[in-house]
Structure 1
Amino acid sequence: MSRSSLLRSQHVPSSGVDTTLRTRRGAPQLVNSPLDYAYDGTFEGLLTVLFTVYERKAAPNSIQPIGAVQGGLFAQPVEVETDEAAANRVWKGLLQYMDAEARTRLFHTFLSEQPDRELVIFRYADLAMRAGRDISEHYADDNVRRVQRLAQQMYREKHRMEAFVRFEKTQDGLFHASIEPDFDVLPLIAAHFTKRYADQRWLIYDRRRHYGLYYDLHRTDIVQFDAGTMPQRSTAVSATVLDEREPLYKLLWQAYFDHVNIPERKNLKLHRRHMPLRYWKYLSEKQPREQRFEPIRNKRPVQPGGPALEAGAADGE
């Protein structure tokens, strides 16, 4: 899959097209025999497939990335070459049948990596075009419910990644972080980290999908590595790559986390709900402590039935 096209596709909505929702004539009837379609796995490629479906007037039996095509015994899938002009036309045209937020949910559905995401997106778009209006609240339809549910899951994963990313500084001043999200959320968090950390070079690497975001103080780009070139854990490169002060920063962060914790209010069930276990291996505060935690002894003693003493009064000062 072309990752750079995914990053660019976020900016397609700001194309200067009138975003006012209008009712239009429905989509053309798909009167020809259904076909199997294959595309290059990019979002633009999928939009080109949608254009081809109505051009050929042949509904899809399946829409699959070329590398994962499972053809029939007698029929070969139609390979659709990505056409950015056609993809742009489809993306802009969807605004005639849905608002910008509903259209964005289709992009989020694509990033969810569900096995049948292509057909879900086609059915949702086709239903909207045949209705000639927005269908985002038509929850009687299974595809509308799925798009809504997947968009909610993507938003939750995006929010967690923005909160749980932990950077480590290398000797050359690069801040790097490793993540393994359930969904392909890097295109969704790029703008957040570019704006928040605009004064430092950083790399966020998705180990599950073997690509990352790199910011060089000027722009954010997609970078890709071979699966075997990255260590399994970020700590595996600490001795040779990390800045010499990074272990101290990690220790300070762990100390802060321990001291703001209130043992009497410990609730592991709630804690794991807000911070699932699958994220812990990349969180500094969840790593084994190099030194035993000792609470700060700065609480004033209290006499039974009396007010709190001054800080040194209990010692006879």
Structure 2
Amino acid sequence: MADQGMRYTYDGTFEGYLCAVLQALRSGKVPAAITDRRNETRPDLAVNVATSLKDAEYLYSTISARSSAEVQQMVSDYFLTDCASLEINLYKMIFCSLKYGAKIAEDYSSELMSGIQMAIRDLYREAQSILQELDFYLGEEASCAVINPRNSVLPIIRKPVLKRRDIDDLLVYDKRHHLLLERYSEQNMLLDISDFPMPEFKDPKEAYDFLWPFVRDRRFDVRVIPGQKKSGSVIEPLWLKAS
């Protein structure tokens, strides 16, 4: 890789992160840092990268084309982990996938790739554990559960949760990552609600009493993102951004 380059910030979404990576790649220099702009301590020294779905989809599809669908999936999975230096490690993985192709996924001698694979295995182990232990409070209009996982597991478990037919309308709130999974009137959404100040809920009933009116009354404005993968080229959003 080339000499160290700029600091980059993004909006916290997977699409935003890919845009920051693409800008860093085009600069020809290894970024000094890539950071969620909400966590950036020196915003005056960082390049604030705007999110472009076109640019994100271009890089995401290029990863698959130059390496494999497996590597592409590893990129989105690793983004959900709670690893130190996640953004810069993922940048290095993307760089290597574009340069060396699919073989990086089987490079067991690489400390970087071994760490990434271990983190992804831990992500799926925690997701399975959370799924098995999910405990819903049965409210008058919906059921609600609150989780506090180390990794961001809601994007992993959302499909099996939403397939449950013993519960009608439901909420699952991840209080650590500020994500809200909702099923209401047969509409399913996974929302990033980090822009909304949330109290510290003591139990799922408190979460239900506070969150359900927002869901029921459609108070969350949601940025429109393409919803499904098509031929491996369009990003399936990990979550939608509410504002």
- Structure 1 and Structure 2 fold alike (TM over 0.5): yes
Residue in 1 aligned with 2:33?
Answer: 62
User: Match for 2:20 among 49, 53, 62?
Assistant: 49
Change (3 A) 1:57 1:167: same
Q: Tell me whether 1:195 sits opposite 2:163 in the alignment.
A: yes
Q: How far apart are the structure 1 equivalents of 2:185 and 2:129?
A: 24
Residue 133 of structure 1, CA deviation: 3.6
Residue in 2 aligned with 1:233?
Answer: 203
Q: 2:66 touches 2:98 (CA, 8 Å); kept in 1? A: yes
**What TM-score comes out, normalization by structure 2 length?**
0.76
- What SS is found at the alignment partner of 1:136? helix
Change (3 A) 1:83 1:198: farther
Amino acid in the other structure paired with 1:227:
M
User: Match for 1:215 among 180, 183, 190?
Assistant: 183
Gaps of 5+ in 2: 211-243
Residue 151 of structure 1, CA deviation: 0.6
What are the superposed Cα offsets for residues 190-215 of structure 1, whole Å, 9 maximum, x if unpaired? 11111223861111111223331110
Residue in 1 aligned with 2:88?
Answer: 119
- Deviating 4+ runs (over 4 angstroms): 30-33, 235-238
Q: 2:144 touches 2:207 (CA, 8 Å); kept in 1? A: no
Q: 2:144 touches 2:205 (CA, 8 Å); kept in 1? A: no
User: Match for 2:51 among 63, 82, 85?
Assistant: 82
Q: Across the two proteins, how many residue pairs are aligned to each other?
A: 207
What are the superposed Cα offsets for residues 96-145 of structure 1, whole Å, 9 maximum, x if unpaired? 23322332122121111323111111111111222134311102112111
Change (3 A) 1:143 1:198: farther
Q: How far apart are the structure 2 equivalents of 1:148 and 1:179?
A: 24
Residue 237 of structure 1, CA deviation: 8.2
Q: 1:37 touches 1:78 (CA, 8 Å); kept in 2? A: yes
Q: Which has the higher contact order (CA 8 A, sep 6+)?
A: 2
Q: How far apart are the structure 2 equivalents of 1:114 and 1:143?
A: 12
Change (3 A) 1:116 1:33: closer
Residue in 2 aligned with 1:170?
Answer: 139
Change (3 A) 1:103 1:69: same
Q: What root-mean-square deviation, in Å, do the aligned CA atoms of Structure 1 and Structure 2 show?
A: 2.6
Residue in 1 aligned with 2:147?
Answer: 179
Amino acid in the other structure paired with 2:23:
T
Amino acid in the other structure paired with 2:40:
V
Q: Kindly name which structure, 1 or 2, has the bigger radius of gyration based on alpha carbons.
A: 1
Residue in 2 aligned with 1:138?
Answer: 107
